[in-house]
Amino acid sequence: MKRKGLRFYLRIYLKILAQDIKSKMSYRADFIISTIGMICTNIAGFISFWILFSRFPSINGWGYYESLFLYGFSLVSLTPVQCLFDNNWNLRQNVYSGDFIKYCLRPINLFFYYQSEVFDIKGLGQFVFGLVTLIYAWVKLGLGFSVLMLLKMIVFLLTASLIMIALQNAAAATCFWIQNSFYVLDFVMKFKDYAKYPITIFSPVFRFLFTFIMPVAFIAYYPSLVILRPDAVPVLSWISPLIGIGFFWLSYKFWMHGALKYSGTGS
């Protein structure tokens, strides 16, 4: 069978995306309500963040605008997993109902086909909110601007996104072996809230946990240091793109390992 290239998958994805958006637009009230809910959630998080720093101008060497930059960075980096990989939340239901078998019968990459079926458009509201927050903090910090800084920003935002996508992929894929896997996915995804804060505010035990066990520190803290504190960038920040790519590849292999062993409701 001829190997399908990037152009083929891009064309297929755009067609699937168009159909998914059309179906969502047919329920406009649901879309509007869910989008407003997403925006309100982010606003509530921002208010909590503001209240915290109104009481403590600096937390372990991190000022308000530096922390706000980290907050915006995390929201932007979490957008791809929100928009492009939201179908992971339905994986357990599809596996146990037997509906997942239909994905195994298509002559295209199984992981691509499954993930491309759902695009959570309301996640774009989170992206806009995060981007505005990021730009505001950037200006207040007087970071300046150059093409090199923009390229660094894009690379390290993508790095952060890969880490979160990998965490979700791996947690969702446990449903191929664990019946109550929803709790695994829910537990893992709760850790993303800690990505909004510098790990230096936590105890050494949690710093180790958030760096090497549940690497949420790579969602915002380590990548953002390249922009925020370029004169003192740790090695973990520079190698975070490799860590992101490696972690995503491992999660993809884990997801595919479970999916390819799937044989229906009797598995």
User: Using one digit for the tens of pLDDT, what is the confidence trace for 29-42?
Assistant: 766 777 777 777 77
- Weakest mean pLDDT among 11-20, 54-63, 151-160: 54-63
Distance CA 39, CA 72 (A): 14
* Residue 9: pLDDT band with limits 50, 70, 90: confident
Q: How far apart are CA 264 and CA 160, in angstroms?
A: 34
Q: Which two tokens mark 121?
A: 């458009």
Nearest alpha-carbon partner for 162 in 256, 71, 237, 245:
245
User: Chain-wide mean pLDDT for the chain?
Assistant: 87
- DSSP class of 119: -
The distance in angstroms from the start CA to the end CA of the chain is 28
pLDDT over 90 at 186, yes or no: yes
Judge whether 130 and 96 are in contact, CB under 8 Å. no
Q: Quick one: pLDDT band at residue 58, thresholds 50, 70, 90?
A: confident
* Domain map (residue ranges) of the chain: 6-261
**Residue of 101, 214, 109 whose CA lies nearest to 168:** 214
Q: What is the mean pLDDT of residues 160-175?
A: 95
At position 10, the amino acid (one-letter code) is L
pLDDT for 3: 62
Q: How confident is the model at residue 19 (pLDDT cuts 50, 70, 90)?
A: confident
The SS3 call for residue 63 is: strand
pLDDT tens per residue across span 95-126: 999 899 989 888 889 999 999 988 888 788 88
**Token pair 């003192």 in the structure block, residue:** 232
Split at pLDDT 50, 70, 90, the class of 265 is low
User: CA 103, CA 63: separation in Å to the nearest integer?
Assistant: 48
Q: What does DSSP assign to residue 242?
A: H
Among 15-19, 140-144, 253-257, the minimum mean pLDDT is found in 15-19
Dist CA 116 CA 46 (whole Å): 31
| pTM, rounded to two decimals | 0.87
Query: What is the pLDDT averaged over residues 71-96?
Result: 93
pLDDT at 262: 85
Residue 1 pLDDT > 70, yes or no? no
